[in-house]
């Protein structure tokens, strides 16, 4: 059994080749141990064992350093091991970690006050849970009780979690082979300006017709019990597709016409990630649109398991009278709540929303420059420090370049940037990139330079000049 300590520290002072050989051996042993004792849960494990994460970087067992351009699982908004977050965790782990779910503590109340002070009127009361799937489960459950209906509409390339109601409302992956999902779920066409077949005569994306057509099909399938729509402002797991300007306003009108609630899932897009405190507030064309329920996770906890749902006073009042129940072991736990409160404090104090917006301009300009140079990049999209780079083998046919993307991704990792390539059908071979928003201009440019090297030295990237 390989001991659980720092193998890099153990080899310090040894001769270079001997130390490298020992680390390679230990990595192989750990990987083999993982194959024998870890459940395969639908992913291919990265070839390198990670032993340290600090700031913007992760370090492999063999002491290879990589810029973490996925912020862990799109979560470490303020970087790994942020000193202020570490201090909060240490203090509350020692003094106020976990309580009976019916008890209150100052961190929970403080986080609720700070969060609802940032959300617009109509998002008035918060609850704190553990994962994004759990917060979406809450949102769907309370929407059903509030409306007295049970049908849920989502987008056809969505990801909202793997719990019962959440996975029934997602279509990205994970539906086949498990028998029936919770009944009453329907899919709207996921907005995809790059690939959608809905086009105006001039070739531009006709999302209005696509959305209306989608609802016409849902109206034919519904038994008259439409309760809610759940959407992400940027469809991250679908390949980083932003909702078009005006889409949320049109969607809200469709909801109101059918007596439905609008749930916005901002697991990955909130707290400055996409250049706004909340991504649903971005487009002037959507001004005034407030979701009935907002769900948060990932970025709120900076890698600690913390999620939230925020609802209106009206929804809260009615469902309380109707006896709403949602009781979990880690509901409103003080330690993660204290972390979330500190995350919001730092983001506000340090102007990180504005920083994400401004550095995002440099980031996307650099990615578009790569698109000009390499024909394998079919599309670049996203906002703020959140981007999708779609790899194709032919720009005319838009054939997904999955094998090519994998080779580019491996080259990127070897050169020192970790960026995830999605290979499932609804990804279509897209690098999802989301570095911590504490990144500096110099670190951003370093990563872009490494990306340039990776594309330049990978066969098949189709240099254009």
- Residue 336 has, within 13 A of its CA and on its CB side, a CA count of 23
What is the pLDDT at residue 10? 54
The size of the chain, in residues, is 465
What is the pLDDT at residue 176? 84
Single out the residue in 317, 349, 381 at which a domain terminates. Answer: 349
What is the pLDDT at residue 1? 45
Whether 463 maps to a domain, the answer reads no
Provide DSSP, 36-95: HHS---SSPPPSSPEEEEEBTEEEETT--EEEETTHHHHT-TT-BT-HHHHHHHHHHHHH
Pull the structure tokens for residue 265: 């899932």
Confidence of residue 8 (pLDDT cuts 50, 70, 90): low
Indicate if 132 and 160 belong to the same structural domain: yes
Indicate if 363 and 344 belong to the same structural domain: no
Indicate if 384 and 272 belong to the same structural domain: no
Whether 181 maps to a domain, the answer reads yes
Distance of alpha carbon 182 from alpha carbon 164, whole angstroms:
7
Indicate if 135 and 231 belong to the same structural domain: yes
What is the pLDDT at residue 238? 87
What is the pLDDT at residue 2? 47
Whether 407 maps to a domain, the answer reads yes
Percent of the chain with pLDDT over 90: 83
- Can you give the CATH number for the domain in which 414 is found? 3.90.1150.10
103: left (phi > 0), else alpha (psi -120 to 50), else beta? beta
Model confidence at 206: pLDDT above 70 = yes
What is the pLDDT at residue 48? 86
Distance of alpha carbon 16 from alpha carbon 10, whole angstroms:
13
Indicate if 334 and 442 belong to the same structural domain: no
CA dihedral of 323, 328, 334, 339, whole degrees rounded to 10: -110
Say which range, 43-57, 198-212, 364-378, has the weakest mean pLDDT.
Answer: 43-57
- Can you give the CATH number for the domain in which 251 is found? 3.40.640.10
What is the pLDDT at residue 16? 67
Confidence of residue 427 (pLDDT cuts 50, 70, 90): low
Between strands 226-231 and 185-188, the pairing is unpaired
Whether 465 maps to a domain, the answer reads no
Indicate if 66 and 101 belong to the same structural domain: no
Enzyme catalytic residues:
159, 232, 265, 268, 298, 432
The range of the structural domain enclosing residue 200 comes to 84-349
- Residue 344 has, within 13 A of its CA and on its CB side, a CA count of 23
Tell me the CA distances in angstroms from 328 to 55, 130, 259, one per residue in order: 32, 9, 29
Confidence of residue 3 (pLDDT cuts 50, 70, 90): very low
> What is the model's pTM?
0.94
Question: 54-86: string of b/e by CB count within 10 Å (b at 16+)?
Answer: ebbbbbbbbeeebbbbbbbebbbbbbbebeebe
Say which range, 137-151, 158-172, 302-316, 325-339, has the weakest mean pLDDT.
Answer: 158-172
Model confidence at 7: pLDDT above 70 = no
Model confidence at 4: pLDDT above 80 = no
Model confidence at 5: pLDDT above 60 = no
Indicate if 361 and 250 belong to the same structural domain: no
Number of domains in the chain: 3
Indicate if 403 and 255 belong to the same structural domain: no
Indicate if 143 and 277 belong to the same structural domain: yes
Whether 188 maps to a domain, the answer reads yes
pLDDT in tens, 115-161: 999 999 999 999 999 999 999 999 999 999 999 999 999 999 989 99
What is the 8-class DSSP label of residue 2?
A: -
Indicate if 67 and 136 belong to the same structural domain: no
Indicate if 158 and 114 belong to the same structural domain: yes
What is the 8-class DSSP label of residue 341?
A: H
Calculate the average pLDDT of the chain.
93
Single out the residue in 322, 349, 376 at which a domain terminates. Answer: 349
Whether 462 maps to a domain, the answer reads no
Single out the residue in 294, 320, 349 at which a domain terminates. Answer: 349
In three-state secondary structure terms, 210 is: helix
Report the sign of the C-alpha dihedral through residues 107, 108, 111, 113, in that order.
Answer: negative
Indicate if 267 and 369 belong to the same structural domain: no
Confidence of residue 406 (pLDDT cuts 50, 70, 90): very high
Model confidence at 112: pLDDT above 60 = yes
Burial of 333 from C-beta contacts in 10 A (0-12 / 13-18 / 19+): buried
pLDDT in tens, 210-253: 999 999 999 999 999 999 999 999 999 889 999 999 999 999 99
Q: What average pLDDT score do residues 438-445 get?
A: 97
What is the pLDDT at residue 428? 66
Whether 397 maps to a domain, the answer reads yes
Whether 246 maps to a domain, the answer reads yes
Contact 270, 241 (CB under 8 A): no
Q: What average pLDDT score do residues 12-40 get?
A: 81
């Amino acid at each position: 059994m390989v001991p659980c300590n720092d193998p890099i520290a153990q080899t310090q002072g040894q001769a270079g080749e001997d130390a490298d050989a020992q680390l390679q051996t230990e990595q192989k042993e750990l990987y083999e141990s993982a194959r024998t004792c870890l459940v395969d849960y639908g992913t291919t494990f990265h070839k390198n064992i990670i032993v340290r994460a600090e700031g913007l970087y992760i370090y492999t067992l063999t002491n290879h350093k990589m810029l973490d351009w996925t912020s862990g699982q799109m979560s470490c908004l303020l970087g790994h091991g942020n000193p202020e977050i570490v201090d909060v965790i240490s203090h509350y782990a020692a003094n106020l970690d976990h309580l009976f779910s019916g008890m209150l503590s100052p961190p929970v109340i403080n986080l609720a006050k700070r969060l609802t002070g940032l959300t617009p009127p109509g998002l008035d009361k918060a609850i704190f849970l553990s994962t994004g799937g759990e917060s979406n489960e809450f949102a769907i459950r309370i929407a059903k009780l509030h409306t007295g209906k049970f049908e849920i509409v989502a987008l056809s390339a969505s990801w909202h979690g793997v719990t019962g109601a959440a996975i029934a409302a997602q279509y990205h992956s994970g539906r086949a082979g498990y028998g029936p999902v919770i009944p009453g779920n329907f899919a709207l066409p996921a907005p995809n300006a790059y690939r959608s077949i809905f086009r105006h005569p001039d070739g531009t994306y006709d999302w209005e017709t696509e959305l209306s057509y989608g609802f016409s099909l849902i109206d034919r399938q519904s038994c008259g019990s439409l309760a809610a729509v759940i959407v992400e402002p940027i469809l991250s797991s679908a390949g980083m597709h932003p909702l078009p300007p005006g889409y949320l306003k049109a969607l809200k009108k469709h909801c109101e016409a059918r007596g439905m609630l609008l749930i916005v899932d901002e697991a990955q897009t909130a707290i400055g990630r996409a250049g706004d405190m909340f991504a649903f507030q971005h487009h002037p064309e959507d001004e005034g649109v407030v979701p009935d329920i907002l769900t948060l996770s990932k970025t709120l906890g900076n890698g600690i398991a913390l999620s939230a749902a925020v609802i209106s006073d009206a929804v809260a009042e009615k469902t309380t009278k109707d006896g709403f129940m949602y009781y979990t072991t880690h509901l409103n736990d003080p330690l993660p709540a204290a972390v979330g409160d500190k995350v919001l404090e730092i983001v506000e104090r340090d102007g990180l929303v504005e920083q994400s917006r401004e550095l995002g301009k440099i980031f996307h300009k650099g990615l578009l420059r790569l698109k000009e140079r390499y024909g394998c990049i079919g599309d670049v999209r996203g906002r703020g420090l959140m981007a999708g780079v779609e790899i194709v083998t032919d720009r005319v046919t838009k054939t997904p370049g999955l094998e090519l993307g994998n080779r580019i991704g491996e080259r990127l990792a070897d050169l020192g940037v970790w960026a995830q390539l999605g290979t499932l059908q609804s990804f279509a071979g897209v690098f999802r990139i989301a570095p911590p928003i504490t990144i500096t201009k110099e670190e951003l440019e370093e990563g872009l330079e490494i990306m340039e090297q990776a594309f330049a030295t990978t066969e098949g990237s189709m240099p254009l000049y």
